[in-house]
Chain A
Amino acid sequence: MINNTNSNPALSAQELKKSPTGINGLDEITRGGLPLGRPTLICGSAGCGKTLMSLEYVIRGALEFNEPGVFMAFEEKSEELATNVASLGFDINQLIANKLLRVDHVHIERSEIEETGEYDLDGLFIRLGYAIDSIGAKRVVLDTIENLFSGLDNQSILRSELRRLFQWLKEKGVTAIITGERGESSLTRQGLEEYVSDCVILLENRIANQISTRLLRIVKYRGSMHGTNEYPFLIDEEGISVLPVTSLQLNAPVSTESISSGIDSLDTMLGGGGFYKGSSVLVSGTAGTGKTSIASSFANATCLDGKKCIYFAFEESPMQIRRNMLSIGMDLNAHVEAGLLEFNSSRPTLFGLEMHLVAIHKKIKKFKPDVVILDPITNLITVGSVAEVKAMLIRLIDYLQNEQITVMFTALALNNTINEQTDEGISSLVDAWLLIRDIEFNGERNRGLYVMKSRGKGHSNQVREFIITNDGLDLVDVYLGPAGVLTGSARESHIANEKSGIALRGQAVNRKDREILRKKKVLEAKISGLQTEFESLEEDLNKSYEDEELKEKIEKESRLEMIEKRKGTKPKK
C-alpha cells in the first residue's frame, strides 16, 4: 500500500506538494511542511505563539528557501513586529529592503468607520494582491482576520468575503497562513476559518503545576498524513522548536566500545571496561548515598581521557559540586578550565520540562560532548507528571543514542524498598542501572552498591560496599558470612577477628596436645603402679600357699612319727 504511491509516478505527481516551514521539528510532524498553495489556519488563544509561528514561516521562507513573503498584520504595526522578532535574531527591515518580505499593517479603527449599504473587501484583496505581486511572494500570512469582525458590523458580508478570500488565495497559488483566535466551542471565534482551511494547526498554552507548556497539534491536514499527537514546542532566542514526542524507530547505532566509569572496581563489576559507549546509565539511591560522587567521578574519568562532558545539575550549583568533589580528590576545575567539562545548573522549576529538554538539546548540540550527566532527574518531577518526565527522558535517550553520547542519570530513590522501580520509571529504558542502598547494621549506615542491570555485559551479581575516601571512590567486597552481610566497621572488625582467630586456634591446639601428653603420662604411671601392686599381691599369695604346703607336710610327718611311737615299734634306725 505505502509503496504504491511511491512506485506509481502518476500518483506521486498528484500527491500534495508541501511548502517547508523551516521551523525545527514542524516539518517532521507535517511530513514536509504546509500544503503548498493552500491556506492553513493556525489557531489558539492569546499569547500562544500564533503570530510568531506565522512570522517565522515567512521569514524562514525568505531566508532559507528564497521564497518572498507577505505579512499582513491586522494587529501589530510593522515596527512592532520588527522589534518582536529582533530578539530572535531576525532582521525584518533588512528583509523588507531586500524585497524578500513585505509587511502590510491593516489598521481598522472602529471609531472612525461608519458602514452604510453594500460593500465588499476588494480593497483588501487589491492591497494583498499588490503586495504579493510587487515582490513575487509565495507565502502569505494574515494575522489575524478576526479583527475585521470586530471592526465591521455586517457579519454576513464578512463571512462570504472571507470564503472568497480563501478561494482567491488558492487561485493566487500562494501558501497562506491565517491565524485565528480560539473560540469557545469551536477552533476559531467565527467557526469559519477551520472549514475553509486545508490544514489546521492548534496551539495551546497549558498550565500544570504553575508551569506552562506550549503544545501544538495538527487538527486536520487535507490530503496528507501527519502526526496526530500533541507536540510540545517552545519559543526561545532561536525561534520555535517543536519536538516530536518519540522518534519513530528504534534503530540507533550501537557501539561495542567501552567507556570507563572512573571507578576501577566498578568497571570490573560491570564486566570490564565500564559502560558501553552511547548507552544510558541510571544511578539511583537514597539521599546521601553518593550518587553525585559517582556521576562526578564519571565526568572526571571522561575528562581525564581527553573527552568532553556536559553536566546538568538540577540541585547543586557548579561551584558547590566542584568544591565537594575536590574533597574526594577530584579536581573538576581543571577540566572546566581546559574546556572539557561544562556545568549547567538550573532549578527544575525554572521552566517546563520541554524547555528543559530543548535547553539540554541545544547545549549538547553546541558543546558536542561524549558524556552527558543529569543530576538528578528526580527533581524534574516537580515540573511534570511521571509520564511526562518519562516521555521526556525517552526522547532524550533516543536523541543521545543516535548521537552516540553516553548519558548518566542520577535518581533519588525515596526509600529502601523501592529497588524494583525508580520514581521516574525509566529503569526499563536505561542500559545499565546501578543501585546504591543504605545498609543499616550494627549502629551505622553503609553504602552497598549493586549492579541491577547492565545490558550486554556479564556483570557481577555481588553487592559491594561503596566507600568514599579522600582519594576517591572505591568498592570493597562486603563480608558475606554466616552472620549475614557485614559492612563498614562490622566488616573491618570481622576481618580482624578472623586474623586473630587463626593465631588463637594455633595456641589452643598446642595447649590441648600438651595436656593429652600429660594425661597419657599420668595414665602410664598409674598403669605401672597397678602392675607392681598386682605383682606384690601375687607374691603374697604364692608365699602363703608354700607355707601351707610346708605346714601340711610337717604335720603329716609328725603324725606318722607319733603313730610309730604308739605302736611301740621302734622306728628303724
Chain B
Amino acid sequence: MTTEEQTWELRLYVAGRTPKSVSAINNLNKYCEEHLKGKYKIEVIDLLLHPQLAEGDQIFAVPTLVRKVPVPIRKIIGDLSNEEKVLVGLNIVPLKRVVSG
C-alpha cells in the first residue's frame, strides 16, 4: 500500500525557539534521517512570526508535527521525545519493517 516513491511532507509548528521547540526539531530530524532518508520534506513554521497559519492546520498546542502527505493528516503534539510514539503516530513503523526485513 505504501508507495516507495512517495515524499513525506512534514510540517512542524513551533512558537519561538523554546527548549521544547528545539528538542522537537532535533528529534524530528533524527527520526527522519533514520527512517525516511531521502524522501521527506520538513517545514518548520514559527507561529510567532506567522500566527495566521495556526488556524489552517488546527494548531492549538506547540510544538505540533503535522503529517500532510501521505494522507490522512496526522498530528503529533509535544517535543517528540518518545521515538516509538512518533513513529506510530506518523505510521512509519511498517515501512521500517519492510526495509529491515
Contact = CB atoms under 8 A, between A and B. Distances in A.
Interface of A: 104, 106-108, 112-124, 126-127, 129-130, 148, 152
Contacts of A106: 58, 60
Contacts of A126: 15, 47-48, 51, 54, 62
B62 A123 contact: yes
B58 A107 contact: yes
A117 B78 contact: yes
Interface string B14-42: 01000010011000000000000000000
A463 B79 CA distance: 90
B15 A118 contact: no
Identify the 9 closest CB pairs spanning chains A and B, nearest first.
A114-B89, A130-B51, A117-B81, A117-B78, A117-B79, A124-B60, A122-B15, A123-B59, A127-B54
For chain B, which range describes its interface: under 10, 10 to 19, 20 to 34, or 35 or more residues?
20 to 34
Contacts, number: 95
A365 to B, nearest CB: 42
B86 interface: yes
Contacts of B77: 113-116, 119, 152
A116 B59 CA distance: 16
Q: Which of A106, A119, A121, A152 is the most central at the interface, judged by chain B CB atoms within 10 Å of its CB?
A: A119
Interface in B58-101: 58-64, 72-82, 85-86, 88-89
Interface of A is mostly: mixed
Contact of B51 (A112, A121, A127): A127
A130 B61 contact: no
B82 A123 contact: no
Given A114-B74, A127-B55, A120 B20 contact: yes
B52 interface: yes
Given A114-B86, A126-B47, A119 B58 contact: no
Nearest to A121: B61
Contact of A123 (B13, B78, B80, B88): B13
Contacts of B48: 126
Contacts of B55: 104, 127
A152 B61 contact: yes
B80 A116 contact: yes
Contacts of A121: 60-62
A237 to B, nearest CB: 32
Contacts of B60: 106, 108, 121, 123-124, 127, 148
A104 B52 CA distance: 11
A451 B89 CA distance: 83
B70 to A, nearest CB: 13
A112 B72 contact: yes
B2 to A, nearest CB: 18
Given A117-B23, A122-B15, A152-B61, 20 more contacts: A107-B58, A114-B75, A114-B77, A114-B88, A114-B89, A116-B80, A117-B78, A117-B79, A117-B82, A118-B20, A120-B20, A121-B60, A122-B47, A123-B47, A123-B54, A126-B15, A126-B62, A127-B47, A130-B52, A148-B60
